[in-house]
Amino acid sequence: MNHDSYPDNYIRGILNTVKSIAMVGISPKDNRPSYFAFKYLLERGYRMIPVNPGHAGREILGQKVYATLADIPEPVDMVDIFRAAQFAPAVVDEALQMQPKPAVIWMQLTVRSDEAAARAEAAGLKVVMDRCPKIEYGRLSSEIGWIGVNSRTLSSKRAPLLGKGVQRLSLNRATMSGGTTDAAERAAHNPDPATKV
């Protein structure tokens, strides 16, 4: 896999198939990027599992925090690494000890470890580095454009919100770069993000 550029279909396939995501390094502070990403994915129907040893036993957005990946009592589809790159190899090693193993290792923006990626891929896992699933979800669903970011349209009008707040947008439609998924459709069937998908 070329980790300098990912095809949209590769990213879509991951976002379409994973249901549970363990975020390693999430902060309980609501002004941190990890908190924003966690909340966004939780609101879109993913089962989000916070991992932070400094906050183990507490809750973040209603989800119990675990100290380590090994402490999570359920299968995890994807491990999202929200820690500095030097910690990625240790997180990947821990993920590879999980039974069953996760299908995906995702390293957040600015996080790249070719060593960790090679180990994960050798074990049969998919890997994404230096990307944010929140941003990729928004980009591929056209949600980023919908909220006025990079839409090339200036307007003083607010975008309408339907329902109780977050409008669920579909990844299950072709974008200008082609391809489809049904992640948003799956998420739409589970309106309560605090429950398992």
Quickly state the pLDDT bin for 181 (edges 50, 70, 90): very low
Quickly state the pLDDT bin for 197 (edges 50, 70, 90): very low
Tell which residue, 86, 46, 87, has the closest CA to residue 69. 87
**Measured distance CA(62)–CA(99) in Å, rounded:** 25
Quickly state the pLDDT bin for 15 (edges 50, 70, 90): very high
Residues 6 or more apart whose CB falls under 8 angstroms from that of 38 comprise: 23, 26, 48, 50, 60, 61
pLDDT, tens digit, 9 for 90 and up, residues 31-56: 999 999 999 999 999 999 999 999 99
pTM, full prediction? 0.75
Mean pLDDT on 132-136: 95
Give residue 126's pLDDT: 98
CATH class of the domain whose range is 8-137: alpha beta
Least confident of 51-65, 79-93, 131-145, 151-165: 151-165
- Considering only residues 146 and 109, tell me which one the structure prediction assigns the higher pLDDT: 109
